[in-house]
Structure 1
């Protein structure tokens, strides 16, 4: 069989690059519009009118291409995402976060702890009772026997056996708390979209690389409510206050049902706690740090600590007063706190997630 090679057609390559760029813009706008496909297409036409997108691309035909590809479907004269389209958004968010993670100055985050099971390392140690035969280092064992008796009296004694060290990855139950209060879109800065991207990327990571883990997502505004991973593209910030205590309480309830050896809460927020649920009523105070709300929120953090549930808080705000509150809550829980911009959020969370799910066996 003969193969004929030729130079790629520049026009086809240009068209492919244009369509890829259009898809990236479409995915971003769908997330910013809370999963509203028609709104995203309207924004694309407006961007095209202003010269930010190629004028020779028909947005309607682009949408039809996505329909044929199974990304969109038409329901009641409106285009909506299909399950495949939602999955593509998660994969795109995952690729974006990891591309930035590999390219950024975040360093090497391998664990120093070793144990049984998991990924094999180059280091070896003497055989211990209970070690798996599959972890025996044959070459290393032979070297020990030669060093002990020489080539003329070669025999392998129990003390000669060497086994490879391995990194141990323990299963982990994680609840991701996502702040959907009004401050996440206040002052013209969109903080909810980067947070949604991180949530979707984290869900994709758990599903593809750590299938024995569990990941639950909880939104908290005036009150807390769970959300399915498949519904994350449709999440929007609203005219809500920040009921941090209710979010922590729901996360603790979810984790109490999990049987994983490790349990943790990852919280993304940009605001102070300004609401509290007591006796079925929501108490709100958006002015300053309400001592009663703060006290009840800190108490919930302490309850998490008593149940050995660490809280890792990612704060995407610069207010010194809010940072002081997060620091105090972290101290009460004995957890961790990171202060990141929306653009750095993905890398920070993924480095922390991958580092903390490894433990010494």
Structure 2
């Protein structure tokens, strides 16, 4: 028999066939913020707030929640029950007056005087008419409709689904409800006292009155949670009304089913619930300014919905201590914003988890988050890809997978490690797999990553490279801060993955110069300080070059200003603007020292400062180097292109 399969829409959460989350895009976004000066933690939080290209962020979900909240408040008003009571009361009085007008007796005139003397407010009229002997059967029926409506509305406020269960109320039904309220009050009192047999009492209560609780709670705590949420919403509804409306409703509650004991039991229940769940929002209020009236039950449900919207907004805001995306109530989010919002929230949570689990974000010894070396490699790969695309478009160059400058085989092999681009040694790899399976058994994997060996290559030339980048405030002020960092990331990744025998050193220089690793440079914040100490940077560059005497020396300098500081013999930096001849002299002395080492010196001049241009021209003449003047966006392509050109010349 052939099998038949039926396909339908997936309703179980995120699409199981959807592509995995794009960690690269999220990491690029985080890395961009980090390079602009944000901490990794704040960059992660910013990414979660703004989302990614395919996933709505927490800010967008919150905006949609507030929009829904505003629509709800603009559409409705709270006086629906009062308006309906007024309408029914007017009809009952009109029916009664018509019946009395047809009667010529004195009793009829007396009753008309009674009706004329009724209080002006609706609640007072209903209270007065509770004991009135109606002449008109229709009027009596209408008035009883008021009492029944009030009873069902007040009960529906506290008990979900009560309105449907109380469509046709008999005196026996009212007595059953009153008995349920008394038993419920006794159960809550036992729970508050901590009685040992409270679960047994709960089970007995549910066996007798379970029809009033469609939520089907499993214990007293679940029962209290459900009742307290609706009771608190009912209290917030009262808080949102005017004093006159509140007074009228409290008075009308005594007429619920024509039995004041119902209102008294409900008031007692509210007090008990408030004592058991003081953390609920009992003091909140909301302003409704629409034109569609809501009854008490509907208004209470609207208040509960507003409370749910507020809680979701707080969860999405993640501004409270210990906040986590796991706190988001996905069921409530789907009720309010639909299934796609749940998918977006889950994907954001998955992105955060994957960033941590895959080691892209790690915790430093001081407890702060930082980008891991693996994350820095990914950022460098992205930066290098962008640079290579610019080089292709400019000179028709293309990417290559060759390792090193020449990639000549040495005849030796080594285990494969992340980032290796050398060819596999097939014989050694298969041999390792066979030996491993002989020890582990035939059920082990045919090929494991530990089996891989690559062929060693030898480069024709090796270089000691120093990238000196200006970190003075003008780099931040003129928008060159992030391009400078991306350039360093791209060059570092190129050397680390394609030219591993080259020794790269990163040097930053402002008032002072210092050597940094790529992670420190990426997270470096711009600081306002005066001084462009190229002298100190070249001193550190020369120290690195002398540590590698067998390598071709290469120095790349990125700056947007002439030297305005130098280092004294005692280690103190001296700043002066305009620069003194002594500052320029000691800086050029270091250029001469590098030239004597055979250094290839390239200066990347950012901006159009004529004093800087005059200085770098002198550097080029005395150091035998080159001067390039790229734009900020073209800086990475210029630096990497110059480095590759130097490699080809060697």
**TM-score by structure 1 length?**
0.71
Give the Cα–Cα distance (whole angstroms) in 1 for the partners of residues 56 and 637 of structure 2: 29
**How far off its partner does 1:17 sit?**
7.8
2:634 counterpart SS class: helix
Give the Cα–Cα distance (whole angstroms) in 1 for the partners of residues 34 and 17 of structure 2: 26
> Does structure 2 retain, via aligned residues, the 8 Å contact 1:73–1:79?
yes
Spell out, residue by residue over 1:92-114, the C-alpha distance to the aligned partner (whole angstroms, 9 max, x if none).
Answer: 22222223322x223459xxxxx
**Alignment map for 1:196-215 (pairs within 5 Å):** 196-215=485-504
**How far off its partner does 1:15 sit?**
6.5
1:24 maps to: 28
Give the Cα–Cα distance (whole angstroms) in 2 for the partners of residues 37 and 108 of structure 1: 35
Gaps of 5+ in 1: 1-8, 110-116, 121-167
Higher RCO by CA contacts (8 Å cutoff, separation 6 or greater) = 1
Give the Cα–Cα distance (whole angstroms) in 1 for the partners of residues 22 and 504 of structure 2: 36
Q: 1:271 aligns with which of 551, 555, 561?
A: 561
Q: Report how many residues are paired.
A: 292
Cα distance change, pair 171–185 in 1 and its aligned pair in 2 (3 A): same
> Does structure 2 retain, via aligned residues, the 8 Å contact 1:242–1:272?
yes
**How far off its partner does 1:272 sit?**
1.5
Q: 2:648 aligns with which of 354, 358, 361?
A: 358
2:535 maps to: 245
Q: 1:235 aligns with which of 511, 514, 524?
A: 524
1:282 maps to: 573
Q: Runs (4+) of structure 1 moved beyond 6 Å? A: 11-15
Instruction: Judge which range, 69-78 or 171-180, deviates more.
Output: 69-78
Give the Cα–Cα distance (whole angstroms) in 1 for the partners of residues 495 and 533 of structure 2: 27
**Alignment map for 1:1-361 (pairs within 5 Å):** 21-33=25-37, 36-44=39-47, 47=50, 55=60, 57-58=344-345, 62-74=351-363, 78-102=368-392, 104-108=393-397, 118=406, 169-186=460-477, 189-240=478-529, 241-280=531-570, 281-285=572-576, 287-359=577-649
Cα distance change, pair 46–119 in 1 and its aligned pair in 2 (3 A): closer
> Does structure 2 retain, via aligned residues, the 8 Å contact 1:180–1:236?
no
- Let me know the Cα RMSD of the aligned residues: 3.1
Give the Cα–Cα distance (whole angstroms) in 2 for the partners of residues 356 and 185 of structure 1: 29
Q: Which has the higher strand share?
A: 1
> Does structure 1 retain, via aligned residues, the 8 Å contact 2:27–2:375?
no
Spell out, residue by residue over 1:11-66, the C-alpha distance to the aligned partner (whole angstroms, 9 max, x if none).
Answer: 789876876544432221122226x1122134436656xxx965354456532331
Give the Cα–Cα distance (whole angstroms) in 1 for the partners of residues 628 and 539 of structure 2: 21
2:598 counterpart SS class: coil
> Does structure 2 retain, via aligned residues, the 8 Å contact 1:169–1:357?
no
2:300 maps to: none
Give the Cα–Cα distance (whole angstroms) in 2 for the partners of residues 53 and 242 of structure 1: 43
Give the Cα–Cα distance (whole angstroms) in 1 for the partners of residues 565 and 371 of structure 2: 34
Give the Cα–Cα distance (whole angstroms) in 2 for the partners of residues 95 and 29 of structure 1: 19
